[in-house]
Structure formats: C-alpha cells, structure tokens
Amino acid sequence: MKSVVTCDMEGIIETINEDGIKLFGYSKEELVGKKRVSIFSPGEIVIQNVGMWLSNAIKHGEYNTKTYFLNKDGKKLNARIRITPTFARGKNNPQTGYCGVTVPIEEEVVVPIKLSTKFIKWAFAITRGGFTSASLFPIFAVAAFLAGTGNGLFSPLALVLCILGIVFLHLSSNIYNDYFDVKHGTDEVNTEYFNAGLNSKVLEGAQLSGGSRSIELGLITLEGTKSLARNMLIGAFLTASVLMYVSYLNTGSLSNAQNVAIIGLTGLFLGYFYTARPIRLASRRGLGEIAIFLAFGPLLTLGTLFAISTSTIELFSIDFYNVMYLGIPLGLLTTNILYINQFPDANSDAKTGKNHLVVTLGKKAARWGYLLILLAAFGSSYFLLDIFNSSIDNFNSDVYLIGTGILFIYGLYIFTRVFKLYESRELINSNLNTIYLQIFFGLFYALILNNFFI
C-alpha cells in the first residue's frame, strides 16, 4: 500500500489516491480542498518536525524519514514518508506545493518530543502567545512617555506586574475566543484560514486567522481549552490584586487602583464577549472592531498609566488625555491586524453568523476599510507631535516625522497588495506585513519617546 497525497504551499490537500483513503480512513470529500495534511499527524510532531521536513524537501529536492500518523479513528500508523516539492506550472516556475508518499511499515516508530516543543505548544501554539506584542507595545509606549516626561513618574515593579497581568488577560481572551469559536462551529467550517507556514522566519508556523487550530490538531481538548482560559484569568486577577496594592503603596490612595480595576474589568468584558454569546461582539457588524480598538488602544494605555504611575492621576486631566491619545494609533494598527485576518475567514464566518465588517461590507468594498484604519492611525500619530513636543524634553520632531513617514509608506504598500490580492491566497504576505507594521510602530514609539529604552 502506497498513499500519495498532494497539497498546496499552505498544506491544503489537493489530491489523495485510493490507498491514501484506505490508510487514513477519510473520504475524498472530507479532505480535498478542506483539510490540511497536518490532520494526519499528532500536533506535537506538526510543531516540531513538519517545518523542518518541508524546508529540507525544498533544499534537497526530497526528504525521507520515518514517522507515525493517526488515522481517522485515532489508530497509530507507523510509516516511511517521502516528501518532494511540486511545480504544477513547470520546474522553471515557482513551487506550488508538496507531494507526500507514505508507505506503512511494521517497525515501531517513536518520535521523541523535545522540551522546547512542549514549551512552544503551550506558550505559542495553544495560547497564541506571540500576539501578546499587541498588548505589550502600548504598555512600553506609556512607560517611555512617562520616562521622557520626568524622573520617577512610574514604578518599575508596577510596570513588571502590569505586563504580567495584561499578558495573562490577553492569553485568557485568546483561549476563550478559541473555545467559543470551536463550540459555535465557526472553526469547524473554516477551511480557508491562513497559517504563516514557511512564509515568515519570525512567525513560522503561526496561525494568522481561524483560531489556533489546537483542538483540531489534538494539542488540547475543548474542555481543556476552557480550563486553561479560566486559569489564565485567575492569574490575571491575582496579578491585578498585587498590582493594585503596589499602586496604593506608591500613591497613598486607592484612586488609581480603582480605575485600574474598572478598566481591567472593561477589557475583560470586551475580550470575553468578543466571541461569547449572547453578545458576541464579533458578529455585531463593527462592534467587534471597535472593541479591539478600545481594548488594545486607549483603554490599555489609560489602564497602564493608572497602574504604574507613582502619583494619583486625576480623571480628565492633561496626563489622562495625553495617554489616552497615545493609545489611538496603537489601537488602530492592532485593529487592522484583526481586520485583514477577517478576509480569509469571511466565507466561513458568514455561514455561522459571525458578521464582522468584512462579512458585512463584502471583501471588495472592505478593502477600503483597511486604508481608512491606516489613515486614521497615522493621522492620529501626526497630531500627537504637539503633545510630545510640549511634554518631552529634547524630543526630536524630525526623527519622529521621518520614522512615522517611512512606516506610513510601508503601510500604503501593504494596502496596495490588499487591494490587488484580497481574494487570493497570496494575501497572506499582507497579513504578515500588517503584523510587522504594528511591531515596528510599537518599537519606534518605545525608542523615540525616551532613550531609556535604547
């Protein structure tokens, strides 16, 4: 018996022969155009080995190894596999996918799983921990702004606790969103999601849309996902409790701590009900996008100000408004990450009533939404120039304008690709570049606002 499976560059199955159907137990209708070849392998092997297998196949023309697969019933299949790159348009043209030839063997195959793989499984694959950068850069920007404004305006201990608490809260939201999307059937019908695959060295193998797919890969169960999300939430509450006590010690008042609690609970509400019923903000035709903007923008920067400040911050004071405005471009750029990731998911999301803006507007019209969010982000960053000039000693306006100008041009380049490729799988590079843009922008702010971070 010799199974032959071909897939595209993202692993989506294109063909499978009769031996493959017998070996793995799936029908063609279940697999072709719907599932990725990762469905055959245990999740930890996918994380640890598949990227390396594919890289070697590209480099050497083929890759041979022994591994084991799981059939539809979960039965272990010891096998020898040969992977080769495929060129549907001829070898003189770019690669279009891979071919895997699998032969069952009697030998018992054991694939040792490294400790680093287990770490990646929990820290990144299941929790999507890599995307906490969307939460961390606004925190760094506030700390840099305070450091640039004067000495001793924030507590380093409170900053560390704030980072830890926000990471717990962000991860809890990620995992709850996975739980509800699987429970509601949204992820099950999604066959068009984007995985970074080998398109990015930084985000290699990362899920860009369609959830983490951890349950599908067998990395964790549905109930395990719910339990993990709850544990992360408990971690957020415990950290927040210590943070509020430190805030009280720093300021001699409960005012900042109370505002931290209010903003934190608001962020929790937005994160949890982004996908949870009955509110399910993601299906409310724009409310989900507004929720993401607020949670990763003004609410986050204001919460950070109240959490780390060594003095009591008055509501609606100059400091209050300055830091709130600081969160606007950061929140908008994070919103664009969510927004562009809605394009590959739009068809499946529409089927399950997840009526976000791309579903509501349609992909063609929704292209302009990306540009509007981009313009709003950089427009608001330009209006921050007066605040920075008046608040930060020795602020370099020229460097700021040049830096934001370069980043804006980069953003416009991404938009031109979105405009042309909005219905193509090649859009994945624009999804990746949108993430990079938010990261570069956050790093630039952390550096330009105060050289403490250089």
Structural domains of the chain, with CATH: 3-104 (3.30.450.20), 119-453 (1.10.600)
Residue 402 CB neighbours (<10 A): 11
Query: What does pLDDT average to in each consecutive run of 10 residues of the chain (454 residues)?
Result: 95 96 96 95 96 96 97 96 95 94 97 96 94 96 94 96 98 97 93 89 88 94 97 98 97 97 97 97 97 98 98 97 98 98 96 96 98 98 96 91 97 98 96 97 92 47
pLDDT at 23: 96
- Tokens in use for 396? 């370099």
CA distance 134 to 442: 9
pLDDT at 452: 46
CB 179 within 8 A of CB 226: yes
CA distance 325 to 317: 12
Distances (CA, A) of 377 to 138, 305, 326, 374: 14, 21, 11, 5
pLDDT at 453: 42
pLDDT at 451: 59
Q: State CA 266 to chain mean position distance.
A: 21
pTM: 0.94
CA angle 274, 159, 301 (to 5 degrees): 45
